[in-house]
Structure 1
Amino acid sequence: MIYEFTIIVPVYNEEDCLPQLFVQLKDYLEVASKKTRILLVDDGSSDQSARLIMDFCNKNEHFSYLIFERNFGKGAALKAAFDHTETPILGYLDADLQTYPQDFEKLLPFIGEYDLVTGWRRDRKDTFVKRISSKVGNGVRNLFTRDYMHDTGCPLKILKTSYAQNIPMFKGLQRFLPAMVLLQDGKIKEVEIPHYPRLAGESKYNFRNRFMGPLMDCFAYVWMKKSYIKYKVAQKNE
């Protein structure tokens, strides 16, 4: 089968969420407007996530996986998946089911005109501390990146694969995807999507890694922006 769209799902210690995630993904494949494959990336989980992923993918068409030998971080999981994607567009979704794969259908109509389309969780279903820390972190990133996204960290995005594969590897990659597309002279758009409360498992984030870590990543982004190389070939002979 020739696929048109790859959904990437980075996973780290989400064994409690995975059974329902698998159901949601299979249900979405039945109604997806594009021929879609799923690529699950286990980021060195210490629970049973990797085993569950391998067992499920080996029994279900349209599902594949990458298993890291140890924990490298979400940015690495996304970059590895970008590099292993062959479809013209890709998207990503967190495994915690606070966003649903069905909502890719809200983003897909815009991917022709735009090079990245990201969700905007306007009505967040998180704890007060998580909402505030995310708002502060997003504000700090906007000061550095000037991408003016309301919800840069929304874990539901679609990108054209050519743009995704031109993004250089660095920690915290996922926080800068809109800015990295703008560096390539791409066009970005936000679309409001629903947000759902976490039903199982535990959040991996707190104020420290939602603010201090992203703040340090912003300095790395500024350095990278100054050093970023881009070019366009006008002509070539064969």
Structure 2
Amino acid sequence: MSASLPLSVVVPVFNEQDNVAPLVREILAALRGATAFEIVYVDDCSQDGTLAALQALKAEVPELRVVRHLRQSGQSTAIRTGVKAARGDWIATLDGDGQNDPADIPKLLAARAAAEPQVKLFAGWRVQRRDSGSKRWASKIANAIRARMLRDATPDTGCGIKLFERAAFLDLPYFDHMHRYLPALFQRAGWKTVSVPVNHRPRGAGVSKYNNLGRALVGISDLRGVAWLIRRSKITPVEEA
């Protein structure tokens, strides 16, 4: 599929019916008149009214596209589904709970305009987290362990708002939970990454889909796997002869 837009905004969602409309309107306010774009929502087999809310919005928002998983598959798969369906050369991602601020997308685009071509990922950095104390402490510990093992020079890999080149992302190895390790994976592929301070907000409605213990147990296995990938990687310069 040849890309025909400069930007696609990909939003994975699971049971976020009350956050859909407010977030879509914020995306429109941030980007209409600034660049050509589309919004690709990926519904990860929601069990509430998320899909109905999205379908209702399509009638009034021509930029909106909706892709639906027929089986719940998780956030990483939903992001990859959205990127594969997207028509943009570059992808901006947002969490569907409203904690990421779409007004920060132009800030990421400005950072890209000022960066060298080797930078393929601009990662949001939540300088002031708006989560519970236990969640902030869990993230702080996880970030310290990740930084020590992967040496990805990234203060916050868990932030949902990111901007990256579509082609570079699709060239990365795919696995469940890969969205938490994108800076390390982009660097493994030979690209540079930049962290950009962004706004962070309390969840608009609904409840979090993660708990600290479950995230930690999965993270230990993932960290070992990503560290193994980095150790086994090889980057070979190529030129046309």
| TM beyond 0.5 | yes
After superposition, what is the alpha-carbon deviation per residue over 1:116-141, rounded to whole angstroms, capped at 9, x for unaligned?
11111111111101111111121222
What TM-score do the two structures reach when normalised by structure 2? 0.90
- Partner Cα separation in structure 2 for residue 234 and residue 176 of structure 1: 29
- Partner Cα separation in structure 2 for residue 233 and residue 68 of structure 1: 38
- Partner Cα separation in structure 2 for residue 53 and residue 136 of structure 1: 36
DSSP-derived class of the 1:111 partner: helix
Confirm or deny that 1:92 pairs with 2:115: no
Q: How does 1:10-159 map to 2 (within 5 A)?
A: 10-31=12-33, 33-112=34-113, 113=115, 114-159=119-164
| Conserved? CA contact 2:16–2:97, under 8 Å | yes
Q: Return the offset for 1:227.
A: 4.5
- Give the % identical residues: 28
Amino acid at match of 2:38: R
Confirm or deny that 1:172 pairs with 2:177: yes
Question: Kindly tell me: are residues 123 and 72 of structure 1, through their superposed partners in 2, closer, same or farther at Cα, counting changes over 3 Å?
Answer: same
Q: Which runs of 5+ in 1 are unaligned?
A: none
After superposition, what is the alpha-carbon deviation per residue over 1:155-208, rounded to whole angstroms, capped at 9, x for unaligned?
110001121111121011111111111011111111111111112111112211
- Partner Cα separation in structure 2 for residue 126 and residue 73 of structure 1: 21
| Conserved? CA contact 1:136–1:211, under 8 Å | no
- Partner Cα separation in structure 1 for residue 78 and residue 142 of structure 2: 21
Q: Return the offset for 1:26.
A: 2.4
What TM-score do the two structures reach when normalised by structure 1? 0.91
| Conserved? CA contact 2:19–2:205, under 8 Å | yes
Q: Which runs of 5+ in 2 are unaligned?
A: none
Root mean square deviation, CA, Å? 1.9
| Conserved? CA contact 2:97–2:205, under 8 Å | yes
- Partner Cα separation in structure 2 for residue 138 and residue 149 of structure 1: 9
Q: Which moved more, 1:148-157 or 1:202-211?
A: 202-211
| Conserved? CA contact 1:111–1:160, under 8 Å | no
Q: Return the offset for 1:222.
A: 2.3
